[in-house]
Structure 1
């Protein structure tokens, strides 16, 4: 018998009592009941659209959670999962065992990953990928006779996950508050944040060198950074001179560079991986989200030949003691292979670059003169529109303005589901989104900002409350 809360039919219908059951039994990410006083119940997905249980069709402006690159209900991905489930639903890859989908995916990733990345380990999420990157960096230095190199340097406004070490590496303090002490040997430096950082990208990168020298290069294992800071920073695109300088510093002090491509990987920014925009080579690249278009959880890391050589050379008793039950899950690997095939066949990375430039231009045309729009930024199909109480001083809105919930409600009412991160409207539509829907996104965002922050009223408010 089908559970009444499941909806196998095509009809959108809210089952009786779902809201009460949700509030009583389901703990949500970043849980608080205030967020679920009047929640939406998603029923179906079709291409670039989400349909709720009341039958409302909304453009999916965030690709689910930055991950549904190929849109919803893509038949090839459903078929790939179904076929693999019928052949081999699960097999572990421990103790000399392997399977075809895992081997094939690792081999394919070696072809499209950043230059120098040769071997891959699979997780089920970006948070697990961060845990794996940090453990791997520390293990590597231990294995080559530098056991003091344990410190990890991250950045303010970064987001690297919600598990123990990942939350500590994350540069948003809320993710560590109330959970006990953060993990040791982790420190943060300021973000390059072009809209708010007073200096060049090279000057922002030099803060890494200062931190390494302050801590002692012999104690620093790795620097971890998102090429574009998404979930914590509101889509912060760095200056062009930032990452080349970061690579120079890491090389100078023998510090591993971990590129967190969980949001930016697999065509999102116009390249397979975003570090290609600046021509830099990471020592470790971590990924998740778009690798399966969100259809099946999968994440992982790729490592350089130098790290792979250390893994292979370790004595059996001092091996890399790390793994998960679902590492290289065969169904997830099969879906990932089909996702990558479609991304290649349809040239979606190139399309993301082209479509992104057009949408960014539309956003500038509609919002550049608005007195509360401080910054409009983006790379490929990844955007942030930062709103400010005062454009001259870049003063932020206070929490008493209730800005984010008001914007979310207005965007939803106009037909767009996306994320508002405090004072930044984040956009990351599926790479397959048709031009008409991209144009609609620009119109909806422009209209919503004008509705919530009428330009004349906003200007008057600024004069009264400098």
Structure 2
């Protein structure tokens, strides 16, 4: 039992009290200075306490603080929309307060798109096992992570269906080529379409790089092109969730820009790094294909939130993206990511209990394994990730704990590294050295 009246995530452990955050560091009440090695949950992108963002927020509060989007728009939302559309090649955008709201909106947008096209039979959504799309019931139902879903199983829709993830470390066969693996996964998705009836499938949802559940897992080359081809062939939408991996986190503005797609996804969801931690904000971007169906049909989206297009949140995000561009932070994220990949492999790849190191940009994960040769995982009852996190904090760095169930929703363990794009090479070395020492203490 803690003394706090806040209903924290754990009622037996009192979170550390942060009293200041500046640059790449978080300062605690007890005087300690902690390097932010995960940006919270891959949220902080340009560092903490940037005075330019603070000034823009204060300026916005002096002009328009809040107006209801049912009647009014605001300059910050309009300018942020222009910025995101120019960067992505999409057509329109909806702004909401967080990633789960954005996923719920994307589900409803997909459903209404098919209604506008006079295809009400398209009720089925296909997502992937080991996915995570949010914590509200619709978003959680779309996920296929066993442990996170377990308490709420009675409430999930039968319209959600699942196929295997593109997770090469655990599921690509020995001696199987990338092309062969992609074909196998494409055949599975095609089979799922046929099982459900191709004309009943509304969309295929996927994280471009899977985030917290399996740990920064990129697809093998050609995967998303194959998934796109199947969706297009059957009239379903391709929806990419970049709540965690988007807005420059991978070294490009959008993670799908690495995937060789000839056009953007039909719908894309952004969050976390969009507000950079300065304001809660997420976005649903949509293509001309989606917008044109509404223009030719009802002309209205049957969805709305109290804080939709919130002026202060949009102004903060606008300034965050401006700073990314002016300071060259997305390219810096790419370069720092190459350096991080190098030192992670140099310092950790030979460890007896490090199974895989994977990621892109400043979005990396280290997966732990009991037996490296057989990929045998630690038993689900062996809970050690929190101990690694605590050891890291003792050394002055915080990283993100992957939830138990990296491989299949029950078994497997990893930690996630996603620092601000402003992190220096020296700080990255300190981070990895601290992690290495913590692993040795806990697992040896």
Whole-angstrom distance in 2 between the partners of 1:247 and 1:375: 28
- Deviations along 1:192-226, one digit per CA (max 9) or x if unpaired, are 11100134234223322121111111110001111
Whole-angstrom distance in 2 between the partners of 1:61 and 1:206: 39
Aligned to 1:294, which of 277, 280, 284? 277
Alignment-derived partner of residue 83 in structure 1:
59
Shift of 1:336: 1.0
Whole-angstrom distance in 1 between the partners of 2:327 and 2:105: 32
Task: Check whether the contact 1:397–1:403 (CA below 8 A) recurs between aligned residues.
Answer: no
* Residue 49 of structure 2 corresponds to residue 73 of structure 1: yes
Task: Check whether the contact 1:364–1:376 (CA below 8 A) recurs between aligned residues.
Answer: yes
Alignment-derived partner of residue 423 in structure 2:
433
* Residue 64 of structure 2 corresponds to residue 92 of structure 1: no
- SS of the residue aligned with 1:65? helix
- Extract unaligned runs of 5+ from structure 1: 1-17, 455-466
- Deviations along 1:177-198, one digit per CA (max 9) or x if unpaired, are 2233212300111111110013
Whole-angstrom distance in 1 between the partners of 2:429 and 2:294: 49
Alignment-derived partner of residue 6 in structure 2:
26
Shift of 1:303: 0.5
* Residue 236 of structure 2 corresponds to residue 255 of structure 1: yes
Q: Provide the alpha-carbon RMSD of the alignment.
A: 1.5
Measured at CA, do residues 202 and 415 of structure 1 come closer, stay the same or move farther in structure 2, by a change above 3 Å? farther
Q: Equivalent residues in 2 for 1:188-337 (5 A)?
A: 188-199=162-173, 200-280=181-261, 281-315=264-298, 319-337=300-318
Task: Check whether the contact 1:164–1:183 (CA below 8 A) recurs between aligned residues.
Answer: no
Alignment-derived partner of residue 370 in structure 1:
351
Whole-angstrom distance in 2 between the partners of 1:79 and 1:188: 45
- Deviations along 1:326-368, one digit per CA (max 9) or x if unpaired, are 1100011111111110111112111111110111110100111
* Residue 137 of structure 2 corresponds to residue 154 of structure 1: no
* Residue 177 of structure 2 corresponds to residue 187 of structure 1: no
- Deviations along 1:395-420, one digit per CA (max 9) or x if unpaired, are 11123332112211211111111122
Alignment-derived partner of residue 9 in structure 1:
none
Alignment-derived partner of residue 444 in structure 1:
434
Alignment-derived partner of residue 376 in structure 2:
395
- Extract unaligned runs of 5+ from structure 2: 174-180, 405-412
- SS of the residue aligned with 2:202? strand
Alignment-derived partner of residue 44 in structure 1:
20
* Residue 34 of structure 2 corresponds to residue 58 of structure 1: yes
- Deviations along 1:114-159, one digit per CA (max 9) or x if unpaired, are x3x1100111000011000000101101110110111111111111
Whole-angstrom distance in 1 between the partners of 2:186 and 2:362: 25
- SS of the residue aligned with 1:260? strand
Whole-angstrom distance in 2 between the partners of 1:369 and 1:134: 43
* Worse overlay, 378-387 or 279-288: 279-288
Whole-angstrom distance in 2 between the partners of 1:203 and 1:418: 35
Alignment-derived partner of residue 132 in structure 1:
105
Alignment-derived partner of residue 76 in structure 2:
101
Measured at CA, do residues 206 and 52 of structure 1 come closer, stay the same or move farther in structure 2, by a change above 3 Å? farther
Aligned to 1:343, which of 315, 319, 324? 324
Task: Check whether the contact 2:279–2:316 (CA below 8 A) recurs between aligned residues.
Answer: yes
* Residue 140 of structure 2 corresponds to residue 167 of structure 1: yes
- What is the total number of aligned residue pairs between the two structures? 425
TM-score, length of structure 2 as denominator length: 0.93
TM-score, length of structure 1 as denominator length: 0.88
Whole-angstrom distance in 2 between the partners of 1:205 and 1:60: 39
Shift of 1:19: 4.6
- SS of the residue aligned with 2:374? coil
- SS of the residue aligned with 1:320? coil
- SS of the residue aligned with 1:195? helix
Shift of 1:283: 0.2
- SS of the residue aligned with 2:370? coil
Report the structure number with the largest CA radius of gyration.
1
Higher relative contact order (CA 8 A, sep 6+): 2
